[in-house]
Amino acid sequence: MYKKTRDPKIREYFVNQYAPLVKYVAGKVAIGMPQNVEFEDLVGYGVFGLLDAIEKFDPDKDIKFKTYAVTRIRGAIYDELRSIDWVPRSIRQKAKEIERAIGKLENRLGRAATDEEIAKELGIDIKEFQTLMLKVSGTSLLSLSDVWYVGDDSDRVSVMETIESPSSMNPDTIVEREEIKKIIIEAIKELPDKEKKVLILYYYEDLTLKEIGEVLQVTESRISQLHTKAIRRLRSKLMNIKRSMVS
| Least confident piece of the model among 31-35, 52-56, 134-138, 153-157 | 153-157
pTM score of the predicted model: 0.62
Q: Which helix (H) or strand (E) holds 47?
A: helix 39-56
The predicted model gives 229-244 an average pLDDT of 78
- Whether residue 120 is predicted with pLDDT greater than 90 in this model: the reply is yes
Q: What is the pLDDT of residue 21?
A: 93
202, amino acid identity: Y
For 179-189, write each residue's pLDDT tens digit.
766 777 788 88
Q: Are 135 and 97 in contact (CB under 8 A)?
A: no
Three-class DSSP category at 73: helix
User: How much of the chain exceeds pLDDT 90, in percent?
Assistant: 21
DSSP letter assigned to residue 155: G
Q: How confident is the model at residue 126 (pLDDT cuts 50, 70, 90)?
A: very high
What per-residue confidence (pLDDT) applies to 3? 62
Q: Which residue has the higher pLDDT, 192 or 173?
A: 192
Nearest to 27 by CA among 52, 49, 46, 50: 46
Other beta carbons within 10 angstroms of residue 161's beta carbon come to 17
What integer pLDDT is reported at residue 155 of this predicted model? 43
Q: Are 99 and 140 in contact (CB under 8 A)?
A: no
Contact 70, 206 (CB under 8 A): yes
- In the chain, the domains with their CATH numbers are 1-86 (1.10.1740.10), 87-247 (1.20.140)
- pLDDT bin (cut points 50, 70, 90) of residue 40 is very high
Average pLDDT over residues 143-167: 44
**pLDDT interval class at 2 (50, 70, 90):** low
CB atoms near residue 222 (< 10 Å): 19
% the chain with pLDDT above 70: 74
C-beta separation of 157 from 148 below 8 A: yes
